[in-house]
Chain A
Amino acid sequence: GEDVEQSLFLSVREGDSSVINCTYTDSSSTYLYWYKQEPGAGLQLLTYIFSNMDMKQDQRLTVLLNKKDKHLSLRIADTQTGDSAIYFCAEFSTGGGNKLTFGTGTQLKVEL
């Protein structure tokens, strides 16, 4: 079945760049997502990339997709304390029925 993996923790200093990585197994993925979960809140869509793209940039966020290696990354430039949250990678595939599969989430801690 589908499997999405992320490292559990990442700690960076304010102002540095953060890179959160994700690997997935389903080669029929069509969309790949990054969701952000702030403490005590639900998940909010941060950004997404269509599977035929290599890169997407949105202000401080850069998403890189290596489809051959099934590797997705989220880079946050000039990381701020407000970026401290859990970041979930998710892959959506239509193979075997439309399904969104989430990773375990990466807890990003931004230190002063």
Chain B
Amino acid sequence: EAQVTQNPRYLITVTGKKLTVTCSQNMNHEYMSWYRQDPGLGLRQIYYSMNVEVTDKGDVPEGYKVSRKEKRNFPLILESPSPNQTSLYFCASSPPERENTGELFFGEGSRLTVL
């Protein structure tokens, strides 16, 4: 089944404890992206990647890192999480033929709480 898989789906952590949210897609998509969803703010892009070893900042990259060593994986790294990073995170991907239309395939989301 074609899908975007995120792990963990739910996580409660404490300030300063490094964590990684993994994202994997099995559709051979070149474009991948991370968004955070907050009430009243919609989805805001954190980072995106056009292809392997190519990553760029989105609208709200502060406090986050990403890497794209393989096409299928695009992990989101919080080196020192803070409470303002409590949010619902979505990974998304897009095939080459859709990169010029903006259509995205989303994972199911990872709800992160930082105490």
Contacts and interface: CB of A to CB of B under 8 A. Distances in A.
Interface of A: 4, 6, 8, 30-31, 33, 35, 40-45, 48, 88, 90, 92, 94, 98-100, 102-105
B96 to A, nearest CB: 12
Interface of B: 4, 35, 40-45, 90, 92, 99-104, 106-109
Given A42-B107, A42-B109, A44-B106, A98 B100 contact: yes
Nearest to B102: A92
Chain B at the A interface: SS class: loop
Contact of A42 (B100, B103, B108): B108
Contacts of A31: 101-103
Contacts of A105: 42-43
Given A42-B107, A92-B102, 16 more contacts: A30-B102, A31-B101, A31-B103, A33-B102, A40-B109, A42-B109, A44-B106, A48-B101, A90-B102, A98-B100, A100-B45, A102-B42, A102-B44, A103-B42, A104-B42, A105-B42
Contact of B108 (A41, A88, A102): A41
Pick the 8 closest A-B CB pairs, nearest first.
A92-B102, A42-B106, A102-B43, A104-B42, A100-B102, A102-B42, A43-B106, A42-B108
Contacts of B92: 43
A30 B40 contact: no
12 contacts: A6-B42, A43-B43, A44-B106, A45-B104, A48-B103, A88-B42, A88-B43, A94-B100, A98-B102, A99-B102, A102-B42, A105-B43
A2 B8 CA distance: 32
A88 B41 CA distance: 11
A112 B100 CA distance: 41
Contact of A92 (B4, B40, B101): B101
A25 to B, nearest CB: 14
A69 to B, nearest CB: 21
